[in-house]
Structure 1
Amino acid sequence: MTEPAWVEHALWWHVYPLGFVGAYPADPPPTPAEHRLRRLADWLDHAVALGASGLALGPVFASRTHGYDTTDHYRIDPRLGDDTDFADLLARAHERGLRVLLDGVFNHVGRDFAHPEWLRRRGGQVATFEGHGDLLALDHDNPAVVDYTVEVMRHWLARGADGWRLDAAYAVDDEFWARVLPRVRDAHPDAYFVAEIIHGDYPARVRAAGFDAVTQYELWKAIWSSLNDRNFHELDWALKRHNEFLDVFVPLTFVGNHDVTRIASQLNDIRHIGHALVILMTTGGTPSIYAGDEFAFRGVKEERFGGDDAIRPEFGSPPIPLDDTEGDIFRLHQFLIGLRRRHPWLHTARTTPLRVTNRGYVYRTGSGAESLLVALNTDDAPMPVALGELGVGAGRIVAGSGAPPEQVVGHAEVAPHGWLVLAPQGPAAG
C-alpha cells in the first residue's frame, strides 16, 4: 500500500462547494467580491463536531458551469471568490486539524481551456467525455498534458492541500497516472491520491496506476440495495470482495456523495439509515460523509439537465434548525464516527460472516487481535443472537438501537429493524 500514514485516521466531510455556497446554479452568478467560499469556512467547526478529520472538496477551480468543466486549474472559481479566500479556508481547516482534499478534473476540460492543442481528436473532431459537448477530452498521450497535470497537482499541494480526488479517473488510461503520480509523490510524499473508479477490477487499476485508493461503488450499491431488497446475501458477497480489495489498498467508502441520490431518499425505509451508517463505520476503508447526509437531507439525482441540483443544495449559516429525526441522525453520526475514531484498526478491518439470512446479518469485523460483532435486522420481528452458537462466549454491548450499552450478554436480541455492535468477551465454552 502506498497511502500516507495519516490516512489511517482520516474521515472526510465531503462538500460540493459551488452548490453549498449558492454559486451554482445562480442567476446572476456571484462575483469574487462576495467571497462565497468563506461561507464554507464557517462550517468547519461543524465538521469537527461531527468527528471528521478532513474536508473533501468538490471543484474549486475556474469553470463555466458545475465545476467539472475546468478552464483554469491555477485559478479559484471567481463565483467562489479569489485566492485569498482559498488560502483562508486552508488555514482555518488546518488550524482545526482538518486535512483538505482537492477535486482534480484532468480527464476533460471546459470549452474556454487555454490549450486547445492538448485536446484529443478523433476523425478530425475533438473528443468529448461521455458525449457531453462542453466537456472536451484531453490527449493523455501528449507529454505536455502529463507535465501540466504534474505541475497543477504540485502547485496546490505546495499551497497546503493534502491530497487529490482524481475525477473520472476510470476514463483515463492507467499509464497516464503511472507517469504523473510518481513525479508528484517525489515532491510531496505525504500526499494522498484517490481515484474515481465506478466499476471494473479495482485492485488491477490500483496496481497499474499507482493510486492510493479508489471509490468503493460496489459496497455503496450493496449497502442500500441489500437493505431495500431485504437481501443481506448481496451485502455479504460485496464484503467478501471488499476483503480482497483490502489486501491491495484501502478503498474510499461512502453511502452518499455529490453524484448519487442521498441515502435518506435512496432507502425505502428511513429506519435503515442507522444500518447503512453502521456498515460504513464498522468495515475497512476511509469513510466519507456527504454534507447534509448527517442531517438525513433528502435529494434524488435525475438523469436530465439540472438533475444534480437536488443533491447539491445551498447551505445557510450554521447551525441549521433540525427536527427530531434530523437531530437523531446527526447524533447517531457523531456516536458512530466516535466509535470509529476510538477503534482506528477498523481502517483495515476484514469482515467474517457469522450468520446470513435475507433479513438478518451478523458479522465479525476485525484486524489482528481486535474485533467487534455487528448484528443487523431488517425484519418486523426481533432477531435473537445466541453468541455461543457463533463461537463467542459473551459480548459487551457497545452500541445499538434500543439496547443498554456496556451490558455483557451471552444472548442478545436485536429489535425489529434494529442493530447492535458488541465487543466479544472470549470464545464459547467447550
Structure 2
Amino acid sequence: MNHWTQNAIFYHIYPLGFFGCEKLQTNQTVHRINELEQWIGHLRSLHVNALYIGPLFASSSHGYDTIDYYEIDPRLGTNEDFKKLCQKLHENQIKVILDGVFNHVGREFWAFKDVCEKKWDSPYKEWFSNLHFEGTTPYHDPFYYDSWEGHYELVKLNLYNQNVCDHLLQAVNMWIDEFDIDGLRLDAANCIPPHFFKQLKNFTQSKKKDFWLMGEVIHGDYNQWANQEMLDSVTNYECYKGIYSSHNTKNYFEIAYAFNRQHGDHGIYKNLYLYNFVDNHDVDRIASALHDPRDLKNVMTLLYTMCGIPSLYYGSEWGITGKRSKHSDEVLRPEVHLNDIKQNDVVSHIQKLGEIKIKEESFHDLHYQQIYLTNEQFVFQRNNCLIALNCADHPSEVKIPEGTYQNLLNDDILHIRSTLTIQAHDSLILKT
C-alpha cells in the first residue's frame, strides 16, 4: 500500500523565528501560532500537502531545550490555538509534522530542576544520561551529566530508563489523540538508541497506521535508522550538499553520482523515500549557498524531481538569503510576513514544479535512470519523464532518445531526433 509521503510536498518552518518570538522564554502567552492560518492559501498555491513545524514544545530559548513536552511554547500560543490550527490544516488536506526533540532537554525541564533541588534524593536522578555525583559541569552543578555535543544547557536524557521512554510516548500519544498529528521529525536521531525508535515505531503504528517518522541524520548509512523496525525516512544530507555544490563547481558528476548511488540499478536506498531539502534552519539559505543566483531554478527542479520527498524551507521560495555565523543561526531563521512574498519567476517555477510532482505518477515511486551526463549538462529519467538540466552560461545540446515530448514546465511540444538544446541555467521536464 502506498504511503501518503510518496506524493508529499513539505513546507518547513522554524516557528520561533518565523513569528519573531522573544529569544528567551517570558512565560507570557502570545497567540502567534494563529497567524499560520493566513498562510494556508500560500501553501496550497505551492501544492504543499505537509507542514513540518520545527520545535514547538515549551522551551527556554531556541526550542531544542525543552521544558515541557505536553505544552506548546507560550511564545507561540496555547494548545487550544494549535488544536484549531491543526483542524484547519487538515481541512485543507495538509498533514502536520512536529519536531520530536527526544535526545535531550533544557536545564529548566521539570525533572532536571527536581534533581538540582533534591540531588541524590530526587526520584528523577536516573532520568538523565550518566548523571552521577562524583563530578561537576560548567554550570557548577554538584553532579555531572552527559550533554548534547558538549552543550551543557542541553541535558541528555537516559533513554535506557523505561520511565523516560514512557513519558515521551505518553506525550506522543497526547499529540496524536488531541491534535491528530501525522508524523514526527526526530532531532539528533543518530544520538538516540535504536530500541527507543523501535518502541516509538510500534507505538505510533498502533495509534495511526500511516504515521510517519523521520530522523535527522547528517552522516552514515541511512539504512541504520530508516528500516522496517525503526524510522520511515531520514534527512538526505548527501544530496543536499551535492545539489548546490554541483552548480557551484559546474560539475553535475557529483550529484549524478549521489543519485545513482542512492537509487540507481544498484542503489543502496532503493526502497527509501528520503527527506530531501536544499536548505533548513541549520544550514545556509540556498540563495546564499549558490555562487550564481541563476542556478536557483535548476536547484529547485532537482529537489522536486529527484527520488524521495521534497521539502521547501520557509522563505526560500522567494530567494531569501542568510549565512550562518560561527556563533549563531539566527539569520537562517528570520521573521517573515505573508506580504513579504513577492511573485517572481522562482516562485512561479516552484508552483509549477509542485503541480507536476503531485499530478505526475512518474515522480511517486523510486525509479531512476541516468541518461546523459557532462560537467554542465545532466539528463535523467523517472519512468516516462526525462529531466534535463544545463548549468552552463550558454545554450547547450544534450543527447536524448528520439521522440515527441511535452515539456511539462510550459506545455510546449518538442519533436526530438537525437539532440535537445537547453538554454543557459535552465531545465526541462519532458514527458513522453
Deviation at 1:211, TM superposition (A): 0.3
Aligned counterpart for 2:64 among listed residues 46, 68, 71: 68
C-alpha separation between the residues in 2 aligned to 1:276 and 1:213?
22
Match of 2:396 in 1: 383
> Which residue of structure 2 aligns with residue 242 of structure 1?
262
Counterpart AA for 1:372: C
- Cα separation, 2, equivalents of 1:45 and 1:25: 29
1:200-241 Cα offsets, whole Å, 9 max, x none, are 010132238510111111011100011111111111111012
Contact 2:377–2:398 (CA under 8 A) maintained in structure 1: no
Name the counterpart of 1:406.
413
Following superposition of structure 1 onto structure 2, how do residues 95-134 of structure 1 map, counting pairs within 5 Å?
95-116=91-112, 117=125, 118-121=127-130, 124=134, 125-134=144-153
TM-score by length of 2: 0.89
Contact residue 219 and residue 242 of structure 1 kept, 8 A? no
Q: Say which SS state the counterpart of residue 336 (structure 2) adopts.
A: coil
Is 2:417 the partner of 1:417? Answer: no
Counterpart residue number, 2:279? 256
One of 201, 207, 218 as aligned partner of 1:187: 207
Contact 1:4 1:192 (C-alpha < 8 Å) held by counterparts:
no
Q: Which amino acid is the alignment partner of residue 273 of structure 2?
A: V
CA distance in 2, matches of 1:225, 1:207: 29
CA–CA distance in 1 between the matches of 2:37 and 2:275?
24
- Match in the other structure for 1:282: 305
Partners of 1:218 and 1:289 lie apart in 2 by 17
Residue 281 of structure 1 aligns to a residue in which SS? helix
1:154 aligns with 2:173: yes
Matches for 1:77-88 after TM superposition, within 5 Å: 77-88=73-84
State the distance in 2 between where 1:245 and 1:298 align: 34
**Whole-Å separation in 1 of the counterparts to 2:2 and 2:65:** 30
Write out aligned runs for 1:259-270 (5 A).
259-270=282-293
Partner of 1:139: 158
The answer to whether the 8 A contact 1:176-1:209 is kept is no
Task: Tell whether the 8 Å contact from 1:283 to 1:347 is kept in structure 2 after alignment.
Answer: no
Residue 404 of structure 1, CA deviation = 7.1
Q: Which runs of 5+ in 2 are unaligned?
A: 113-124, 135-143
Deviations 1:17-38 (A, max 9, x none): 1111111437x95831x31111
The letter of the residue matching 2:54 is G
Secondary structure of the structure 2 residue equivalent to 1:419 = strand
The alpha-carbon distance between structure 1 residues 298 and 395, as it changes in their structure 2 partners (threshold 3 A), is farther
TM superposition shift of 1:246: 4.0
Deviation at 1:296, TM superposition (A): 0.9
Per-residue CA deviation, residues 236-263 of structure 1 (Å, 9 max, x unaligned), is 1110122025423211111121111111
1:331 corresponds to: 348
Question: How many Å apart are 1:271 and its aligned residue?
Answer: 0.7
Whole-Å Cα distance in 2 between the matches of residues 217 and 209 of structure 1?
22
Post-superposition CA distance 1:171-198 (Å, at most 9, x none): 1122221133212221222211111111
Give the structure 2 partner of residue 58 of structure 1.
Answer: 54
Q: CA deviation at 1:421?
A: 1.7
C-alpha deviation, 1:83, in angstroms: 1.3
For residues 228 and 64 of structure 1, what CA distance do their matches in structure 2 show? 38
2:197 aligned partner: 177
* Paired letter, 1:73: Y
Question: Does the CA contact (< 8 Å) of 1:246 and 1:284 recur in 2?
Answer: no
Structure 1: state its 5+ residue gaps.
425-430
Give, in whole Å, the separation in 2 of the partners of 1:269 and 1:397.
Answer: 28
For 1:381 and 1:404, the matched residues in 2 are separated by 23
Q: Check whether the contact 2:12–2:51 (CA below 8 A) recurs between aligned residues.
A: yes
How big is the shift at 1:321? Answer: 5.2
Moved >3 Å (runs of 4+): none
Match of 1:268, SS state, is: coil
Q: Output the CA distance in 2 between the equivalents of 1:344 and 1:281.
A: 13
Paired residues of 1:395 and 1:408 also in contact (CA < 8 A):
yes
> What is the SS of the residue equivalent to 1:89?
helix
TM-score, structure 1 length as denominator? 0.89
**In structure 2, how many angstroms separate the alpha carbons of the residues matched to 1:115 and 1:208?**
33
Query: Partners of 2:316 and 2:290 in 1: how far apart?
Result: 12
What is the one-letter code of the residue matched to 2:405?
Answer: R
When residues 30 and 412 of structure 1 are mapped into structure 2, their CA distance, relative to the original with a 3 A threshold, is farther
- Residue by residue over 1:65-98, the C-alpha shift from the partner in whole angstroms, topping out at 9 and shown as x without a partner, is 0100011000110111111111121111111111
Root-mean-square deviation (Å): 2.0
CA–CA distance in structure 2, aligned partners of residues 190 and 423 of structure 1: 31
8 Å CA contact 2:251–2:376 kept in 1: the answer is yes
Moved more, 268-277 or 116-125: 116-125
Partner of 2:227: 207
